[in-house]
Copies of this chain bind each other. A is one copy, B any other.
Amino acid sequence: MQEPDPLVIEIGELEAIKIATAEFRQVPSTLVGPGDDAAVVSLAGSDVVITTDTMIDGHDFRLELSQPFDLGFKAVATNVSDVAAMGAKPVALVVSLAVTKETRMSWLKEFARGLQAGCDQLAPKAAIVGGDLATADQVLIAVTAHGELDGRKPILRSGAKPGDHIAVCGTLGKAAAGLDLMLHEDQSLARSYPELVDVQLRPMPPMETLLAGLEGITSMLDISDGLSTDAARVSKASSVALHIESAKLFGFAAVLEQAAQSMKSRDGVDRDPMHWVLNGGEDHGFLVTLQPGVSAKGFKVIGEVKEGSGVFLDGAPLQPGGWDSVTG
């Protein structure tokens, strides 16, 4: 009897990575291996955070909807937010870019300008130090970012403890609402809500909120795939239950209400802004757990960590409704 050999897309990103990385032997200099926002390695005696992320035309963006400047900016944003989510400061990035036979030099230059603008605005102490340029059938961007911990311990997904508060900083749902606006058949809608579209095109992880201090943060991750999905990752890594109160999320939903109404006025479809808040990815805010009694400036408390497992909204199980970069 032949063993079943499932498709990778049937397995999903995290499980497939888990199976594949089981092949890898770690060495003493690997302090944190695969599974968190980034790896931590000892390089020449110092702890360094390393993360990598890939964006592919037709899967993670659409060339016809995104300007090259925005793609460069977003490629930096998604990676420096992963570095920051480890409690580290981004210092160096390398960029692998595949262009197509049709890509023009003006596109490449604007893309490079966006990369630099992303560094300037989000990580002014970081530079693009190297990279690789190739041709492919579709445009593909792979960025690897490096960060310094300055002697601190990395903040992992696995540190949440019962009794901790759950808090977020940055926006929630704006990037997803922006994407829906961009994809709407009424093209004028996107122009009416530039702020939401801008978060989708050029996410601004709230790096400065983290710089204010990491004291009392027990776990952290970058909300890239949606609150429900990313909260489930913390729950699993920390072996705890995350209880979120919907009332604490109303503020995030309220600012999306008008966009939902405008879309309904065009197509008659009801949209619940809370769906964007809970399941929308790509805002690249941060989800943290805080020691009880700690109040972190710029963070909004949305719930509490309890014994158990899973993610709950007002006591009811919340299914991960976000993005899996393999199954889509």
Residue ranges of A at the interface with B (Cβ–Cβ < 8 Å)? 5-9, 11, 13, 16-17, 19-27, 29-30, 32-34, 38-39, 41, 43-48, 50-54, 56, 58-60, 91-92, 94-96, 98-99, 101-109, 111-113, 115-116, 119-120, 125-138, 140, 142, 144, 146, 148-150, 325-326, 328
Contact = CB atoms under 8 A, between A and B. Distances in A.
B21 A128 contact: yes
Contacts of A106: 5
Given A50-B92, A135-B9, A326-B133, A148 B34 contact: no
B140 A136 contact: yes
Nearest to A107: B8
B127 A132 contact: no
B38 A7 contact: no
Return the 4 tightest CB-CB contacts between A and B, nearest first.
Answer: A44-B46, A39-B130, A39-B129, A142-B142
A196 to B, nearest CB: 25
Given A29-B92, A39-B92, A130-B38, A105 B7 contact: yes
A33 B134 contact: no
A260 to B, nearest CB: 30
A106 B11 CA distance: 12
A159 to B, nearest CB: 19
Nearest to A106: B5
Contact of A105 (B11, B50, B137): B11
A111 B91 CA distance: 31
Given A8-B99, A8-B107, 4 more contacts: A20-B108, A30-B92, A43-B44, A134-B326
B94 A50 contact: yes
A240 to B, nearest CB: 24
Contacts of A21: 112, 128, 131
A132 B37 CA distance: 10
A323 B105 CA distance: 20
Contacts of A125: 27, 29
A44 B149 contact: yes
13 contacts: A5-B105, A8-B135, A13-B133, A20-B111, A23-B116, A24-B127, A25-B116, A39-B129, A48-B48, A52-B142, A133-B325, A133-B326, A135-B325
Contacts of A48: 43-44, 48, 146
Given A5-B105, A101-B9, A105-B16, A41 B92 contact: yes
Given A24-B116, A59-B135, A326-B99, A34 B129 contact: yes
Nearest to A108: B20
Given A5-B105, A50-B94, A113-B23, A325 B41 contact: no
Contact of A24 (B6, B22, B112): B112
